[in-house]
Chains A and B, each alone.
Chain A
């Protein structure tokens, strides 16, 4: 029987998350103590060697990202807890069940890059998580475990785009949530123009165990190019709608049928969307690939945040994609032309197809728009927005054609 492997969720449901002594009794804050006795460059090289790659969706080597941070008096560690991807609730689960593993991870990162100030940018729809975190931070300060490292929680206003690291920074600064162009990358010029490391909750929560057990241990888990575990959140037409943590060489089939318990009502699988709303639609015939970042990318898909949205055989793909197009039309910030206008027109055309008013010309237009948006938009939102449209046009074209107006 295939099993979960819990690194970031190692304490989940075993300790009282509201009580720091539980965390300390479980070995908590030992890794930070160990890290404080290491040279910052040794921590960076250890994390680099572990090949821990960003769990927010971009999959960039975390240690390498830290190594770009230049010398500066002020630097910041920013934790991305914006978790706006529909169907994703992994960061919430991690923080709910074990907030101190995140705080410890941030402090380790702070020591590695020479920063004593951290911010947690929390999704606006998670107000109770802000309270929960503030409680944990207060306890950690009282215990003195964070030392000089200070952590402040900031709350978003509900904009999906603020999960993009530079839009997140703009939002913390009090500006409109709009992405910045890169370079300069936040590592060089981020929050208030200071070097800033922005990492996802899951990335940071991996750090205590990497420091405790070493890079070699971590890099031997799961896939060789994207080692470790991935926290996945299962939703849709699946029996077990649960949050799991599995080694990265687990296949999509195992996720759906072993952990997820298969399709609800004994139906057949039609498609699975992985990585959030902008994720690719993977047809049932292609689910034997491992979920790691590179295997997914090589197959033309995305791992993204690790949301697993399952659709059974009765689902109308065009209808689902139309709803997704509406989501992006609503969430585009409006800064760059191809995204602002493109998401709007994509939704318009998808509605037309879904209502049976479209012709094959409209499919061509969609394809063209999608191609241009994915290459020309300013940030990841616009570049990824046409993903569901393009992958369903590729794998489920017959469903579109069935809805075309024939005359």
Chain B
């Protein structure tokens, strides 16, 4: 074990633990913008800097291993001064539209400015680069005037989705996140999974599908459910406001989201608005004389059973085939083949995943 002192408290951690992890284990809060447990380290936002006695530079706690005998101060005057200046520098390039921002109330930049009492920036005088919002895709809003260049989106795209649709373009203050040749997402390898939206700590990336109908702070409840689009079984979190689904977010806790750890595809993340559609079927329909009419489940199931039995009797079991879907669960697919083989007496069972 490595013994070090953090804010005057002696702490023991296993070798290889970073200072940030050591702080977390001991309930000491450190602000971070670029750090994300699911992504490779960047060490670039410099918000997590701490003072290590005897070292002339402030060290980034997310990438610095705890060493025997280290004496760390996490909120020393030099640390607080640097964090405030960094926040002011970020504010100077950040479009302050909190009142209409989708991330209002769940924004790291907002949280840390609140924590460190940064009301405005002394460095904003000369303005900042202007990036019009032009990407016409139906899912992801990209507002780079709010971007703080943490590159979490770039790393999520590369490491979780492995699409590599975006990267940093340009240098210095003009660096920005872009697709190749700074085009639209639709013309890039982007698959619109929205992992970038999931990891964005500010409002630079947000869901167009949820825009204007509910922000994180408006959500009444978050309902964990399993995605019905395919058989993978991803956990997703329905955001509910006034008893209506207003968005899907990721639950990244391995215990609750063992299959996907928060990662989703375009369907799971953005394809939920049908839930609220007035055209959604809520009861079985039977066609009489060319017109659909509502029926009870008992009536509908009896109707199907009778028709299937007639077909089997008149034409034999092989006149029947069952084509199942990946949108059904494993258990449902098991039942489908059981029904086909044991009840209908045929091996004509297949599944769309075989195509």
- Does chain B have a CB within 8 A of A268? no
Q: How many contacts between A and B, using CB within 8 angstroms?
A: 106
Inter-chain pairs besides A338-B85, A365-B123, 6 sampled, C-beta below 8 Å: A176-B168, A181-B60, A337-B90, A340-B173, A375-B82, A378-B44
| Interface stretch of the complex, out of A35-43, A218-226, A314-322, A328-336 | A328-336
User: In chain A, residues 339-355, which have Cβ atoms closer than 8 Å to a Cβ of chain B?
Assistant: 340-345, 348, 352
- Does chain B have a CB within 8 A of A242? no
30 pairs, A vs B, C-beta closer than 8 Å: A176-B167, A181-B60, A332-B171, A332-B173, A333-B172, A333-B175, A334-B168, A334-B172, A337-B47, A337-B90, A338-B46, A340-B149, A340-B175, A341-B89, A341-B92, A343-B172, A345-B89, A345-B126, A348-B123, A371-B81, A372-B82, A372-B85, A375-B56, A375-B57, A375-B78, A376-B57, A376-B58, A376-B85, A377-B46, A378-B60
Given A334-B168, A375-B57 in contact, is the A183-B49 Cβ separation under 8 Å?
no
* Chain A residues closer than 8 Å to B46, beta-carbon distance: 336-338, 376-378
Main DSSP-derived SS at the A contact region: helix
Given A378-B44, A378-B46 in contact, is the A341-B57 Cβ separation under 8 Å?
no
* B171 and A333 within 8 A (CB): yes
- Does chain B have a CB within 8 A of A369? yes
- Does chain B have a CB within 8 A of A368? yes
The contact string, 1 if C-beta is below 8 Å from chain A, for chain B 14-29, is 0000000000000000
Given A345-B89, A348-B126 in contact, is the A181-B43 Cβ separation under 8 Å?
yes
- Does chain A have a CB within 8 A of B219? no
- Does chain B have a CB within 8 A of A32? no
The contact string, 1 if C-beta is below 8 Å from chain B, for chain A 360-385, is 00000100110110011110000100
- Does chain A have a CB within 8 A of B122? yes
Q: How far is the CB of B88 from chain A (nearest CB, A)?
A: 9
* B82 and A376 within 8 A (CB): yes
- Residues of A bordering B, CB below 8 Å: 159, 176, 181, 183, 329-338, 340-345, 348, 352, 365, 368-369, 371-372, 375-378, 383
* Closest 6 A/B residue pairs (Cβ): A334-B175, A181-B43, A341-B89, A344-B173, A332-B172, A348-B126
* Chain B residues closer than 8 Å to A330, beta-carbon distance: 171-172
CA distance A91 to B316 in the complex (A): 89
CA distance A331 to B171 in the complex (A): 7
* Chain B residues closer than 8 Å to A343, beta-carbon distance: 172-173
Name the CB-closest residue of B to A333. B171
* Chain A residues closer than 8 Å to B167, beta-carbon distance: 176
CA distance A344 to B86 in the complex (A): 13
Given A341-B89, A341-B90, A368-B85 in contact, is the A329-B44 Cβ separation under 8 Å?
no
Q: How far is the CB of B2 from chain A (nearest CB, A)?
A: 14
* Chain B residues closer than 8 Å to A378, beta-carbon distance: 43-44, 46, 60
* A337 and B125 within 8 A (CB): no
* B89 and A338 within 8 A (CB): yes
- Does chain A have a CB within 8 A of B185? no
* Chain A residues closer than 8 Å to B125, beta-carbon distance: 348, 352
CA distance A368 to B47 in the complex (A): 17
- Does chain A have a CB within 8 A of B63? yes
* Chain B residues closer than 8 Å to A345, beta-carbon distance: 89, 92, 123, 126
- Does chain A have a CB within 8 A of B41? yes
User: In chain B, residues 88-136, which have Cβ atoms closer than 8 Å to a Cβ of chain A?
Assistant: 89-90, 92-93, 122-123, 125-126
* B172 and A376 within 8 A (CB): no
The one of A181, A329, A383 that contacts B41, using a Cβ cutoff of 8 Å? A181
Q: How far is the CB of B19 from chain A (nearest CB, A)?
A: 12
- Does chain A have a CB within 8 A of B11? no
CA distance A335 to B151 in the complex (A): 9
Which size bracket describes the interface of B in this complex?
35 or more
* B86 and A376 within 8 A (CB): yes
CA distance A226 to B256 in the complex (A): 59
Q: How far is the CB of B223 from chain A (nearest CB, A)?
A: 37
* Chain A residues closer than 8 Å to B175, beta-carbon distance: 333-334, 340
* Chain A residues closer than 8 Å to B63, beta-carbon distance: 181
Name the CB-closest residue of B to A373. B85
The contact string, 1 if C-beta is below 8 Å from chain A, for chain B 210-236, is 000000000000000000000000000
User: In chain B, residues 29-86, which have Cβ atoms closer than 8 Å to a Cβ of chain A?
Assistant: 33, 41-47, 49, 56-58, 60, 63-65, 78, 81-82, 85-86
* Chain B residues closer than 8 Å to A371, beta-carbon distance: 81
* A334 and B173 within 8 A (CB): yes
* A334 and B149 within 8 A (CB): yes
CA distance A343 to B89 in the complex (A): 11
Name the CB-closest residue of B to A181. B43
The one of B56, B81, B174 that contacts A372, using a Cβ cutoff of 8 Å? B81
* B57 and A383 within 8 A (CB): yes
Name the CB-closest residue of A to B175. A334
Name the CB-closest residue of A to B78. A375
Name the CB-closest residue of B to A330. B172
The one of B44, B171, B174 that contacts A337, using a Cβ cutoff of 8 Å? B44
Most buried by A among B86, B89, B122: B89
- Does chain A have a CB within 8 A of B170? yes
- Does chain A have a CB within 8 A of B199? no
Name the CB-closest residue of A to B81. A372
Most buried by A among B42, B47, B148, B172: B172
The one of A333, A334, A337 that contacts B86, using a Cβ cutoff of 8 Å? A337
